[in-house]
Amino acid sequence: MPTAAATSAREILTGLHDVMASRGSAQVKLDHVVDLIAAAMKSEVCSIYLLRDSSLELFATHGLRKEAVHVTRLALGQGLVGTIAAEGRILNLDEASSHPAFAYRPETGEESFHSFAGVPIIRRENAIGVLAVQHADARCYDEVEIEALQTVAMVLAELIAGARLADGSTRRGKQRDGMVRLAGLKLVAGMARGTAVFHQPRVLVEHTVAEDTELERARVYAAFRKMREQIETMTREAEFGTAGEHQEILETYKMFAYDEGWSRRINEAIDSGLTAEAAIERVQQRTRARMQEINDPLLKERMHDLEDLSNRLMRIVSGRMGTAAQTGLNRDAVLIARNLGPAELLEYDRRRLKAVVLEEGSLTAHVTIVARAMGVPVIGRVGDIRHIANEGDTVLVDGDQGSLVVRPTGQTVAGFDNRMAMSLRRRAEHAAIRTEPPITRDGRRCTLMVNAGLAEDASLLQQTGADGIGLFRTEFQFLVSATLPGRDSQLRLYKSVLDAAGDKPVVFRTVDIGGDKALPYLADEKDESENPAMGWRALRLSLSRTTLMKAQARALIEAADRTVLRVMFPMVSEPWEYEAARALFEEQLAWAREGKRPAPARVEFGAMLEVPSLAEMLDLLLPRIDFLSIGTNDLTQFLFAADRADPRLAERYDWLSPAILRFLRRVTREATAAGVPVRVCGEMGGRPLEAMALIGIGIENFSITPAAVGTVKTMIRSLDAAAIRAKMEVLLARPPRDMRKTLVDWARKHGVALS
Ligand code: PEP
Ligand code: MG
């Protein structure tokens, strides 16, 4: 049964089809269209505004004064119409004049109309005009009417573009030639030089109104079948990652591919009279609009997965299967896309794909995780890159700095090549000391472990020569899954990591979810508080959801069968929290042993010190723990009351500030005196100068980001630990104004390698 929205849109589309097929100028057709819509929607006014010479011109109207046509103009962002076009959103108002953006245009005679609803007319993701209806009564338009307007706007876009009545884009003045430097978000490090290749010349919907609805329905069904087959094949043949995250990402795809809601919405759009392509696009537009309103990054990510599949469906249905992956890359390519689904990335030839630049993208995005595993540098959030670069342009990508250059001059290329050569040389030097121990010049054996969280990360031990995994962030598995990972899937992951690590230790941290790492499937735990980092997260959440923690404990216990299980708890604020978590693990351990189930020979328990209050309770905590791990990322944000995610504060408080160093020294001294090993596992330890200062206050164990192992090891091997210890005593007694500069000078003078 077609829905009311479909019937309403269908009625208009049938008329529209005839208008579009009729002879006559585009103006005549649009004049007919506004009459048609006004009659079908029983609205007193229906107007079409088109983007011309950067402003919105009233192009056709039913109900407003005809003298205003081609006279009334609104700049982008001006008035209700300008706001709709600039922001690409819908306005639905019962009293138009009380909206803050309302701009009165006396020539239109619109003062007698109270209610207003307008939708953008979108072409190639840009608003090229606005379709609006108005009523004398103060009433809100219902969803069915808005839906119908949007469907009609989509068909109008075709007519308008065909007649070249509007400007192509609301985005003005983008540079298409000459060298352009751009900055973005560092997602995957590395440098590359290549030629711009667009992932997808978007499939442009050419025919929107269906001749034969049943035929269109059959086309969509066939496309769905084919897409599902493709996903199944990809799942079977995933080139790498037979277990772990990739598999789970493909599972998410599968979930969408079989999602009843999605296919139903497309079907409804077909019922309203659209072609298969237009129906897919219509639903995709709606998803995109919804995406703009969502703040939850994880949910946004899922929406991107859906968009990825929607593009695939569109390619199948239109027979234009060629993404750049299918047509094949024939030289070093820098792939450019608005966003990319992980499955789409997996289709590229890894040898020719040198880098990826995205308009969107985020650190926790699935595609980032996959790219990292493929070793392809990625820069995200480079707004408008698809409008700035041309296919075939040379692009220099610096994933280490998060910057890129499009169409560089010869001189810029030469400078970039030099830096790239240096970076490669440095990498080669680091590789050469991979098997050498991190030992200071005066013989202090430090330990350098890595932070990890994905199944693939286990191979980093081999690549970096690190001493183990000092922080395995188990929540990553939860973040990349569409549903709560069960005990078995946790067990598989932990086992595979332990197997890959062999004799090297792995420290598993129990899940640190909640706060900003919200999981859509744990909606009831969603933290709406203003300070989620200080909210219902990590151990606080785990201790209240003991089923979740028990499942994790059992998975860890079984995975470490007959070996040593090392486990630590995040965000311990008071010793009782540690005791409660440990007791829960011990209960599960007793259960496993009694039931003769697989269990570790020994368990080492640790606490993370990342909440300052715990430092005051060390006398009670230390006798109960096997190791202490300092999470400097959270610790510094709490010490300084400075949000770690706020870029404005990123440079404000230095990790080398005496306050932090004195605090860490106090904790380290107390722990060392009690015979408890201390390790730093925050980002701070991965910076050579900071690591040098930490050695100076007695910390010799680090768990750091894998990419930093080479640099930090080189620093350690060039350092005299006793000398830096003596220096730090002096500096912390009477801190210099600029600790960083003082330490850099000292390092230079003493031949300490900092890069
Ligand atoms: C930390 O807070 O320093 C830490 C290592 O944990 P995370 O970054 O995962 O919060
Ligand atoms: Mg932390």
Beta bridge partners of 49: 58, 130
Residue 634 beta carbon below 6 angstroms from any ligand 1 atom: yes
Exposure string over 108-145, b if 16+ CB within 10 A, otherwise e: bebeebbbbbbbbbbbeebbbbbbbbbbeeeeebeeeb
Residue 475 beta carbon below 6 angstroms from any ligand 1 atom: no
600 burial via Cβ count (<10 Å: 0-12, 13-18, 19+) = buried
Which protein residue's CA is at the shortest distance from atom 8 of ligand 1?
Answer: 633
Which residues belong to CATH 3.20.20.60 in the chain?
Answer: 444-735
Residue 686 beta carbon below 6 angstroms from any ligand 1 atom: no
Pocket test for ligand 1, best of 537, 571, 572, 633 (most atoms within 8 A of CB): 633
Average pLDDT, the chain: 87
Which residues are within 5 Å of ligand 2 (an ion), measured at CB? 610, 631, 634
**Closest ligand, as measured to the CA of 704:** 1
Pocket test for ligand 1, best of 608, 679, 690, 704 (most atoms within 8 A of CB): 608
Q: Tell me, what's the pLDDT at 260?
A: 85
Question: What does the pLDDT average to over 243-247?
Answer: 52
Position 217: which residue type? Answer: R
pLDDT at 104 over 70: yes
SS3 574: coil
Query: Which position has the higher pLDDT, 18 or 703?
Result: 703
CA 78 to CA 69: how far, in whole Å? 18
| CATH level 3 topology of 180-201+331-412 | Glucose Oxidase; domain 1 (3.50.30)
Residue 681 beta carbon below 6 angstroms from any ligand 1 atom: yes
pLDDT at 5 over 70: no
Question: What does the pLDDT average to over 40-56?
Answer: 91
Residue 306 beta carbon below 6 angstroms from any ligand 1 atom: no
Task: Select the highest-mean-pLDDT range: 105-109, 339-343, 390-394, 713-717.
Answer: 713-717
Which protein residue's CA is at the shortest distance from atom 4 of ligand 1?
Answer: 631
Atom of ligand 1 nearest to the CA of 570: 6
Which protein residue's CA is at the shortest distance from atom 9 of ligand 1?
Answer: 473
CA 372 to CA 188: how far, in whole Å? 6
Q: Tell me, what's the pLDDT at 589?
A: 97
CA 358 to CA 187: how far, in whole Å? 10
Pocket test for ligand 1, best of 469, 472, 473 (most atoms within 8 A of CB): 473
536 CA distance to ligand 2 centroid (A)? 13
Which protein residue's CA is at the shortest distance from atom 1 of ligand 1?
Answer: 631
Question: With respect to CATH, is domain 444-735 assigned 3.30.200.20?
Answer: no
**Closest ligand, as measured to the CA of 637:** 1
533 CA distance to ligand 2 centroid (A)? 9
Which residues belong to CATH 3.50.30.10 in the chain?
Answer: 180-201+331-412
158 CA distance to ligand 2 centroid (A)? 51
Which protein residue's CA is at the shortest distance from atom 10 of ligand 1?
Answer: 634
What band does 174 get if pLDDT is binned at 50, 70 and 90?
A: very low
**Closest ligand, as measured to the CA of 683:** 1
Q: Tell me, what's the pLDDT at 112?
A: 81
Q: Tell me, what's the pLDDT at 1?
A: 45
Beta bridge partners of 327: none
Write down the CATH number for the domain with range 213-318.
1.10.274.10
Q: Tell me, what's the pLDDT at 7?
A: 59
Question: What does the pLDDT average to over 212-223?
Answer: 94
Which protein residue's CA is at the shortest distance from atom 6 of ligand 1?
Answer: 631
Residue 515 beta carbon below 6 angstroms from any ligand 1 atom: no
483 burial via Cβ count (<10 Å: 0-12, 13-18, 19+) = middle
**Closest ligand, as measured to the CA of 449:** 1
pLDDT, tens only, 656-684? 999 999 999 999 999 999 999 999 998 89
250 CA distance to ligand 1 centroid (A)? 28
Which protein residue's CA is at the shortest distance from atom 3 of ligand 1?
Answer: 631
| CATH level 3 topology of 3-175 | Beta-Lactamase (3.30.450)
> Under a CB-based contact definition with an 8 Å cutoff, are residues 554 and 495 in contact?
no
Q: Tell me, what's the pLDDT at 237?
A: 61
pLDDT at 173 over 60: no
CA 132 to CA 108: how far, in whole Å? 14
Atom of ligand 1 nearest to the CA of 475: 9
pLDDT at 605 over 90: yes
And the tokens for 649?
């504060």
Atom of ligand 1 nearest to the CA of 684: 3
Q: pTM of this prediction?
A: 0.62
pLDDT, tens only, 521-577? 776 665 666 777 788 889 998 999 899 999 999 999 999 999 999 999 999 999 999
**Closest ligand, as measured to the CA of 475:** 1
pLDDT, tens only, 462-520? 889 999 999 999 988 887 676 789 999 999 999 999 999 999 999 999 999 876 666 76
Which residues belong to CATH 1.10.274.10 in the chain?
Answer: 213-318
Q: Tell me, what's the pLDDT at 515?
A: 67
pLDDT at 60 over 70: yes
Residue 512 beta carbon below 6 angstroms from any ligand 1 atom: yes
Pocket test for ligand 1, best of 681, 687, 699, 703 (most atoms within 8 A of CB): 681
